[in-house]
Structure formats: structure tokens, C-alpha cells
Homo-oligomer: A and B are copies of this chain.
């Protein structure tokens, strides 16, 4: 019954990609620790780039500077 929270910037992850993340991390926990997929919870949070900072700057600003 693991709980996994994946936070990414809101930059166009598709439904299909998010499904792959859910399946992939559930299988990883099954294969690595024998965890039961039926009670493995995965939550993906997509965060606006204004609200995500790295290097002391928002990702919005970094994208404008080509980073």
C-alpha cells in the first residue's frame, strides 16, 4: 500500500504519459519491494510554472531565458 506523489510542472503531460507514469511506478514498487498494485496509490500533481522555482527563479522566467 505505498503512496507515491509525483510533482511535475504543468507543461503538457498527456493522459497517456500520466497513465505510463502510474503503471511504471506501480510496477517498480511491485518488482522492487513486492508491493501489492491493488493498494498502491499514485498521485500526480501538475504545478504552474509560476509556482515552481529552481535556482531561485520561477520556471516561467527560466523558460523565457531558454533554460
A: residues with CB less than 8 A from B are 1-9, 13, 15, 17-29, 32-33, 35, 37-47, 50-61
Contacts and interface: CB of A to CB of B under 8 A. Distances in A.
Given A3-B3, A47-B43, A56 B21 contact: no
A29 B42 CA distance: 14
Contact of A21 (B5, B8, B32, B61): B32
Contacts of A59: 1
Contacts of A60: 15
Given A25-B25, A43-B47, A55 B38 contact: yes
Contacts of A17: 32-33
Given A17-B33, A21-B32, A54 B4 contact: no
